């Protein structure tokens, strides 16, 4: 569907999108970018059938599409990110046997690369979790075979079948019934902080993909390979719409989008916004980089109403708005 409105708070008009030139279905369009000439690029999550017979398990892939009429129709540009790991049809998470999916895409500040922040659900547990890949901006019209995954400090693994190094590793493998991992990262560039910010889901630690909470993390200045230890933003009990997946922000300043926001932004969960977020650049105890400790348990103290001080890093506060 294509939805249009004059503002975030006005009536939204929705209409079907022509997908007759779309090869891979079903698809969830999870990120988009509009060029200055109006060309719209979209990236989708695809779940193929028959991966594990009648079990219902699938292995998601990430593909690209383009629209030359403002999103009213799309043309498939092919799969750009796919796992090279064998499907584990005994996986107990209830949905995925392996695969790449549940992602967001952001263009860097120099307009050199699109960065994909996505979830790797298969292979060795040390490779699972939230991972990253990139596509040269110049390759956006023909992206298949051009995306490169981040692995052990380098951008040399192919998007189709290559290995990954997670920036937020899974603590318990997705094949297990008690999987414990961040997933579904939503990234934006925060103009007030001069940093990237990620919101993530965390599934832990029971069968059925339960939502444990929504977390926030900040980049080290403009870098995408160094992040603060995630802090819980919302617990499941604070989210009125269940299961409480898919956090994201939309900027309220001029030019604000879901990948660009300023000091104040709307927080959305499950496509609904009950909160306003305010970001602070104060870093009283350090430079704010505070790199993640992979052996440290995520801080699961939820954000209270009002300010949440975060020593040595940017701060975020929130208030619920009826």
Domain regions of the chain by residue span = 1-170, 180-322
Q: Among 54-68, 140-154, 195-209, 292-306, which is the least confidently predicted range?
A: 292-306
Long-range Cβ pairs for the range 311-314 (8 Å, 24+)? 311/284, 311/285, 311/286, 312/283, 312/284, 312/285, 312/286, 312/287, 312/288, 313/218, 313/228, 313/283, 313/286, 313/288, 313/289, 314/193, 314/195, 314/218, 314/279, 314/280, 314/281, 314/282, 314/283, 314/288
Q: What percent of the chain has pLDDT over 70?
A: 88
Tell me what pLDDT residue 96 has: 97
Tell me what pLDDT residue 290 has: 39
Q: Which residue shows structure tokens 């990620």?
A: 198
Alpha carbon of 232 to those of 41, 229, 298, 301: distances in Å?
32, 10, 8, 6
Q: Read off the pLDDT of each residue in 28-54 and give the average, rounded to a whole number.
A: 96
Mean pLDDT, all residues of the chain: 89
Q: Read off the pLDDT of each residue in 285-299 and give the average, rounded to a whole number.
A: 42
Q: Read off the pLDDT of each residue in 199-224 and give the average, rounded to a whole number.
A: 92
Tell me what pLDDT residue 293 has: 39
Tell me what pLDDT residue 286 has: 39
298 near 233, Cβ under 8 Å?
Answer: no
Alpha carbon of 242 to those of 206, 210, 245, 249, 274: distances in Å?
16, 10, 8, 18, 14
Q: Read off the pLDDT of each residue in 153-173 and give the average, rounded to a whole number.
A: 96
Q: Read off the pLDDT of each residue in 144-159 and give the average, rounded to a whole number.
A: 96
Give residue-wise pLDDT tens across range 87-99.
999 999 999 999 9
The answer to whether residue 315 scores a pLDDT higher than 80 is: no
pTM of the full structure:
0.89
The answer to whether residue 165 scores a pLDDT higher than 70 is: yes
The answer to whether residue 308 scores a pLDDT higher than 80 is: no
295 Cβ partners below 8 Å, 6+ apart? none
Q: Read off the pLDDT of each residue in 72-86 and give the average, rounded to a whole number.
A: 98
**Beta pairing, strands 260-261 & 181-190:** parallel
Give residue-wise pLDDT tens across range 294-307.
344 555 544 333 33
Tell me what pLDDT residue 288 has: 39
């Amino acid at each position: 569907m294509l939805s249009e409105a004059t503002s975030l708070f006005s009536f939204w008009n929705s209409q079907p999108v022509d997908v007759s030139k779309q090869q891979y279905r079903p698809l969830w369009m999870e990120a988009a970018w509009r060029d200055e000439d109006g060309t719209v690029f979209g990236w989708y999550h695809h779940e193929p059938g028959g991966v594990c017979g009648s079990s219902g398990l699938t292995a998601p892939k990430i593909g690209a599409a383009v629209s030359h009429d403002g999103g009213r129709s799309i043309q498939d540009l092919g799969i750009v990110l796919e796992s090279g790991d064998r499907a584990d049809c005994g996986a107990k998470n209830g949905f995925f046997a392996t695969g790449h999916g549940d992602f967001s895409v952001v263009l860097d500040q120099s307009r050199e690369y699109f960065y994909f922040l996505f979830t790797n659900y298969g292979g060795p547990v040390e490779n699972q979790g939230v991972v990253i890949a990139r596509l040269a901006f110049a390759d956006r019209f023909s992206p298949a075979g051009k995306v490169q995954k981040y692995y052990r400090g380098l951008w040399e693994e192919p998007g189709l079948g290559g290995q990954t190094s997670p920036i937020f590793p899974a603590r318990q493998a997705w094949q297990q019934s008690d999987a414990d991992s961040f997933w579904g990262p939503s990234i934006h560039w925060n103009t007030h902080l001069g940093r990237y910010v990620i919101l993530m889901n965390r599934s832990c630690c029971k069968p059925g993909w339960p939502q444990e909470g929504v977390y926030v993390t900040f980049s080290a200045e403009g870098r995408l390979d160094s992040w603060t230890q995630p802090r819980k933003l919302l617990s499941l009990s604070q989210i009125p719409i269940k299961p409480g997946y898919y956090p994201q922000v939309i900027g309220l300043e001029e030019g604000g989008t879901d990948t660009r926001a300023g000091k104040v932004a709307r927080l959305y969960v499950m496509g609904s916004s009950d909160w306003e977020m305010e970001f602070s650049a104060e870093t009283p105890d350090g430079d704010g980089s505070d790199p993640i400790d992979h052996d440290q348990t995520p801080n699961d103290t939820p954000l209270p109403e009002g300010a949440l001080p975060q020593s040595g890093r940017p701060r975020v506060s929130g208030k619920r708005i009826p």
